[in-house]
Amino acid sequence: MKYLLIIISVTIFIIIVSCTTEKVEPTVNTQLRGDQLPDQESWDATVFFTDSGKTKAILHAGHLKIYYRNKETFLDSNIQVDFYNEDEIKTTTLTAKRGKVDEKTNDLFAYDSVVVVNDSGIVINTDEMMWRNKDRKIVSEKYVTIVTPSERIEGYGFESDQGLRNYVIYNITYITNADSLK
């Protein structure tokens, strides 16, 4: 009985000591406004772009943030976009560290270490690139490097179909053939 009284006394003492009137409130960042927060977020996201039931592109992003008010989706954590032809065969893959989709036009902007590779071995490197939805063209105003099995071309300003079959560099600064690359 003596031990029971000691246990009850210790338990009551612990309860009384642990109960305090001090309230703990979380800190609030008053500089952050609600309209600056994304309306939706997703991690390890996959987004399908289709037209008349046919897959045109598949976007993979480690993290995406959707803002309905601005009609923009921001992509980061290494994005990848696979483009498909009319027969729904993958023809081109674009990778970048970051990107953005303009929901008004469905144009895709890729930033930071952009690499585009097609199924015939053409590789394009640049800092920024845009996929224009209205005509399905890949364009850039930045410095680009194109390496094909037969040549290497560098310059400023680029435009191509999304399969990289027909492309133009507007201001060529360097060109060489495959023999001099070896």
Residue pLDDT tens, the chain, 182 long: 666 667 777 677 666 666 666 667 777 777 767 667 889 999 999 988 888 899 988 999 999 999 998 899 999 888 999 999 889 999 999 999 999 999 999 899 999 999 999 998 899 999 999 999 888 899 999 999 999 888 999 999 999 998 888 989 999 998 888 665 55
Q: Domain ranges for the chain, please list them.
A: 39-181
As to burial, measured by CB atoms within 10 angstroms (0-12 exposed, 13-18 middle, 19+ buried), residue 88 is exposed
Residue 78 Ramachandran class (φ > 0 left, ψ -120 to 50 alpha, else beta): left
* Amino acid 27: pLDDT: 78
Which tokens in the block code for residue 104? 């008004």
Alpha-carbon torsion, ordered 53, 64, 90, 123, to 10 deg? 150
Q: What pLDDT is attached to residue 99?
A: 94
Question: Can you give the pLDDT at residue 159?
Answer: 94
Homologous superfamily in CATH for domain 39-181: Lipopolysaccharide (LPS) transport protein A like domain (2.60.450.10)
Distance, CA of 179 to CA of 182 (rounded, Å): 6
- 8 Å CB contact between 94 and 71: no
- pLDDT value, residue 8: 73
